[in-house]
Structure 1
Amino acid sequence: MSLAAETREAVRANPFIRDALRAGLVNHSAAATWLAERADLDGDPDAIAAALRRFREDLPAYETEARTASVTMRSGVGVVDDANAADADDGDPGDVPLLRVGGAGVVDGGDRTAILAAGDVDPAALAGALGRLAAADVGVVAAGAAGDALVCVVPRRDGASAVRVVEAALDAVPTDAE
């Protein structure tokens, strides 16, 4: 494999570098040195930097789009290991898990807060929200997106902040034209 191909592969393995390249925010020399050390690229940093510059020319520009969604929060939820046991079908909508992955689920009756967004949402919107929540030091204990809804479960004390963060994230969801 050529050094250029190895560099592209290393960038794809480190998506933050790809995003920074797309946004035009990279010091190519610094990124090349970092990749040479951390991604074990066997090549001169100047050659890696040149490969990064060429790769940047092939990438779409970094762009965002606003999404229309209603964001709410529901306090008093928890994450349980056996969502099926909590899924009693007695007609009460509160018994249905907000989110279920495998055997685990997000159900009423805990000390967490669920941030719910309904509307024009998808996994890209969830990824943007999770990135912003991490940057805001809000711990997420469960998250998912399906159909026209997404859910992020956070500590109760972070609920109001998390709503604002998710709303801001939905105003600028990164697009990927590739």
Structure 2
Amino acid sequence: MSKPSVPALNSSGRSLLSIPRVRELLDRLVEGERLEDAADALGIRRRRARLIMRDPAFRRQFFSEIEDLKQAERARNFRLQQVVRDRGFAPTASAAEMKVALTAVRDIEGTHKDSPITINGGNNVIAGYVVRLDGPVEGPRVISSQGAERASTLIEQESVTDVDG
């Protein structure tokens, strides 16, 4: 099944971006509005908005404007890093503020390397399951979809008597 293409808008050959509602859709998306919300606000069907997003000229313009926005925000981001860094130099700064300031310095200088999340100085946080081994020992149990109360023990534990005595 092939991708649906953007249906022809008119026979005059106008660019999609020359249509005021499409241009407004682009502006709203660049400002961070969700596609569905922007389409609803402009009275454009959601399916049509998704098809417009597939248009190569629209996509080029969208990503170009996003890149322009990123570049425009760089100065503010840099200023924030400076403020965070300077807070770490305050005589009353906590160790946490100093560590954050040090990270800001590394970011400003371009020497910051991504590192894994660490807690308590060395315990790496890894996604997964936690198996708790504390508590009373009952032996292995049958895992069933019928509930834990109906599960039976696989190994019967008997009291062990000392053979020597």
- When normalised by structure 2's length, the TM-score is 0.31
As a proportion of its length, which structure holds more strand? 1
Q: TM-score, normalised by structure 1?
A: 0.29
Bigger radius of gyration: 2
Q: Which has the higher contact order (CA 8 A, sep 6+)?
A: 1
